[in-house]
Chain A
Amino acid sequence: MAGNVGQSFYIAWRYLAFHKWRTAILVLSLSLIVALPLAVDRTIDRISWTLKSRAKDTPLLLGPRESSLDLVLSALYFIKSSPAGLTYAAVDAVERTQLARAIPLRLGVEARGYPVVGTDLDYIDFRQLKLAQGRLPALLGDCVLGATAARQLRLAAGDTITTNSKDFLNIAGAYPMRLNIVGVLASSHTPDDDGIFVDLKTMWVAEGIGHGHQDLTQDASQSLILKQSGRSIAANAAVMEYQEVTPDNLSSYHFHGDQGSYPLTAVIVAPTDQRAATILRGRFMESDASYRLLLPSDAIDKLLNTVFRLNRLFQSAILVTGLATVGIAILVFVLSAEMRRSEMATLHMMGSRRTIAFELYGAEALIILGLCLVAAFTLAAGFEKILPWIFYRLLEG
């Protein structure tokens, strides 16, 4: 009996292999209707877990009054352009309350496709990030790479990385800045793995807010001076701006204006306790300032509710498409059986087993089912690699 089954599977396999394109199309169509919803479901589960756990680990977030979702996506996941409107004064505002630790964040600059995150060392401590090699940034121009960024870019402590020029056609804009990689963080399986972490001041220099240039008090620079009044010197555009912080030019870096007016993306607010959190939320709710304090998990829950609703719609559409595909597959089998009636008649005349037609069609169906399962799980695994990328690109808008 087992031998007969083996022979039937052999004949069925030869039949399917001979009609390889028909088989491939059938297998692909059937496996797609299994793979797609499976992959989408699993991806949403994974994204949902990732988003929620990160949001849960961030008690409060201070940012501009505009879209809370944009703020959360930018400050927590580094996947959205920075909302404008927050300044460093917000950090002072939080710290004055003595109810929380304020960790400033500044985003908006990239280096080789990875976000540069301007913050202070409290961030490393707050996120419990560990160094895999090197040290933490200590000087202007230093940076540490997240584990994924370092691996993908094949960079290590001692290398350098240059920020992307946002406005290279603007001669008055910020120039690309070469950062000195002084350390690499251990993998944390969070968005921090994709970050390039610098001190806030380094970030502001990369944005062109602070800068270093040749010494205008030297005799050789007199031809560059347009106007001098006391300590204030106005020079022309020929003044050489430094693009890399070195021990020689470090002292020439400086900032103009009040630090309180320098831009931030968000401030992570870590209250001392639950009571402090409640008080802070009340204070900032009443505040007529242009910024607000929000619970990141609220924004993420809203986003995920929308995602889940869209997924239900998608799953319903796939179910209808799937039923149609299965119907077509059955039709293909029936038509194929119809076309093979003379073949079965020949087998009957040759003294075949009574159940030969059942065995052959059954074996074909089982082989196709098996191939579909293998193809479906392979496709699902592939989709699961692509879908998060698509999801995050969609969030970026």
Chain B
Amino acid sequence: MIGFDQVVFGYGASPLLRIPSLTIEAGRSMAIIGPSGAGKTTLLSLIAGILTPQSGALSIFGTNIGALSDVERRRFRSRTIGFVFQDFRLMPYLTVFDNILHPYRIADQLTVCEGTRQSAQALAGSLGLGDKLGRYPEALSQGERQRVAIARALVTEPKIILADEPTGNLDMRTKRVCLDLLLEKARARQATFLMVTHDAGLLEQFDRVVDISDYGG
């Protein structure tokens, strides 16, 4: 469960976000909407522990994120959070397989072993990437790249999946396929799924929709 209690965040004196109370139940999906600059990405960053609240308490599965040190927040992030970005942010110099395994290679307490390789392979197969593991991102279509990004976010089996407009660069058909995949995988793993989107046509698929402008400073 993710709980915001009187959380305030901002740069300088004026707060950007003021969330008196918000609870996101574990295993549910939530769409975050709102105008540009309203703080959607900031909200994701707070949940991921990339940013810390100026005041208030943000607890995730009972842990007060704001009270953790930088190293602890990094460890928390690598084990608990899976990120999907709008522009995929794949490493162009790594193959599909290495991109999927990347979270294991960069994090403090994760290691690549035969088990992780097998699960990465299985995950890639389930996302239709089984025959593209040796390719580089430049050789993939937009939809395939996004699927690699999804696989990378899921490979560590995170409890929370954060997606920052992951369908923004895709055509309508691919958008739906991508969202279906994310929702399916999140539900199958009972992970909490939060997605920032501007696309009103996708909202009906979420358990809950939050308009971030309700929490503007």
Interface residues of A (CB under 8 A from B): 3-4, 7-8, 10-11, 14-15, 17-19, 342-343, 346-354, 356
Contacts and interface: CB of A to CB of B under 8 A. Distances in A.
Contacts of A10: 105
B94 interface: yes
A350 B93 contact: no
A343 B99 CA distance: 12
A4 B112 CA distance: 10
Nearest to B103: A350
Interface of B: 45, 48, 50, 70-71, 74-79, 81, 83, 85, 89, 91-94, 98, 102-108, 111-112, 136
A363 B93 CA distance: 16
Contacts of B75: 351
A140 to B, nearest CB: 73
A265 to B, nearest CB: 64
Nearest to A13: B93
B99 to A, nearest CB: 10
A10 B95 CA distance: 13
Given A15-B93, A18-B136, A343-B91, A351 B103 contact: yes
17 contacts: A7-B111, A11-B105, A14-B93, A14-B94, A17-B93, A19-B93, A343-B91, A347-B106, A348-B74, A349-B50, A349-B77, A349-B83, A350-B83, A351-B75, A351-B78, A351-B103, A354-B71
Contacts of A353: 74, 106-108
A352 B78 contact: yes
Contacts of A15: 93
Contacts of B91: 343
Contacts of B89: 342-343, 346
Contacts of A351: 74-79, 81, 103, 106-107
A354 B70 contact: yes
Contacts of B70: 354
B106 A18 contact: no
A3 B107 CA distance: 11
B199 to A, nearest CB: 22
Contact of B85 (A8, A14, A346, A348): A346
Contact of A352 (B74, B92, B98): B74
Contacts of B104: 7
Instruction: Give the top 9 A-B pairs by smallest Cβ distance, nearest first.
Output: A351-B78, A351-B77, A18-B93, A352-B106, A7-B105, A346-B89, A15-B93, A353-B108, A351-B74
Contacts of B74: 348, 351-354
B166 to A, nearest CB: 14
B102 A350 contact: yes
A50 B87 CA distance: 66
Nearest to A12: B93
A354 B76 CA distance: 13
A4 B98 CA distance: 15
A46 B104 CA distance: 53
Contacts of A4: 108
